[in-house]
Structure 1
Amino acid sequence: MQPNNASGPWYLDDLKTGDLFRSGEYEMDANQIVAFAQQFDPQPFHTDLEAAKASMFGKLAASGWHTAAITMRLLVETLPFYKGLIGLSTDIQWPRPTYPGDRLRVECRVLEIAPSRSRPEQGVVTVETLTLGQEGEPRQRQITKVLAFRKPE
């Protein structure tokens, strides 16, 4: 397990299956939720407090894509891969909504490491990323394949 404050950059050869990276927290607020949704996901339960009360959420809820964007920010701060976090594919789920006042944090576990046979300077790392609320309940879960590079010689 890597330390929570592990510095980078991280290279392919630094990683081991089972490594766990933990982020700091990011607090959501209603203004951020509405502003993001107005631009990218303009549905009433994301943009209008009164309409949100009548929705299945019962109150203003962040777009899943907003939660995904916050997750990405936390990942970039927590997992500084050499040459950046370059996603190849992902499977994403939102088991619970994110609300104003929620404090999100990320736990990212390395599931698999596959060095490339044709490009020895790189490989594919499969990670599970959980975006958790302040009580530890998952708000987002994703399995992602990320390109990782070996340290240059």
Structure 2
Amino acid sequence: MTLYLDDILPGQRFNGTTRIRIDEDRIKTFAAEFDPQPFHLDEGAADTSIFRGLAASGWHTAAVTMRLLVEGEFKPAGGIVGAGFDELRWPRPLRPGDELRVESEVLEVRPSKSRPEQGVVKLRTTTLNQDGEAVQISVGNVVVLRRQKP
């Protein structure tokens, strides 16, 4: 169901409807192209790093989170159009074998003063592994269309 700004209230929660399992090959493939640091590419280097084992790039976690959001319950009018983040944290590494899901909560809804046809929803999204541990927490601002008045 498409949600317009007028349908969204602070405190509303949305869940992901899919899960994505991350394997070692996906971690290394993403890292090779976008974040080619040794602790994302090589087990030996990863074992001696602060991660103490192979860990996905935080940007890989962010990309998977985006996919999970798009496939989840939160369906804002106009799509999930980001207007920036207030917070982006990776409290624990994403490891090979982790299975991710997302949960989101609306923190704030505000109509735009300069663009009456839209507004902004402040959304906290937590990306969780199979043990319910947060691997990413973000607070982002999403542009959402308002319902057209007749």
| 1:52 and 2:46 matched | yes
| 1:41 and 2:35 matched | yes
Written as runs of structure 1 = structure 2, the 5 A alignment for 1:5-84 is 8-23=1-16, 24-78=18-72, 79-84=74-79
Query: Once the two structures are superposed, what CA deviation does each residue of 1:85-126 show, in whole Å capped at 9, x if it has no partner?
Result: 111110201110000010111111000000122322111110
Q: Which has the higher mean CA deviation after the structures are superposed, 52-61 or 27-36?
A: 52-61
2:88 match: 92
Structure 2 unaligned runs (5+)? none
Equivalent residue letter for 1:87 = G
Query: Once the two structures are superposed, what CA deviation does each residue of 1:44-66 show, in whole Å capped at 9, x if it has no partner?
Result: 11011222122221211000000
SS class of match (1:144)? strand
| 1:130 and 2:114 matched | no
Query: Once the two structures are superposed, what CA deviation does each residue of 1:20-59 show, in whole Å capped at 9, x if it has no partner?
Result: 1111211110000000000000001101122212222121
**TM superposition score normalised by structure 1:** 0.91
Name the CA distance, whole Å, in 1 between partners of 2:108 and 2:23.
35
SS class of match (1:143)? strand
SS class of match (1:83)? coil
Aligned-residue CA RMSD (Å): 1.1
Count of aligned pairs between the two proteins: 146
1:112 match: 108
State the identity %. Answer: 51
Which consecutive segments of 4 or more residues in structure 1 shift more than 2 A? Answer: none
Name the CA distance, whole Å, in 2 between partners of 1:30 and 1:51.
14
**TM superposition score normalised by structure 2:** 0.92
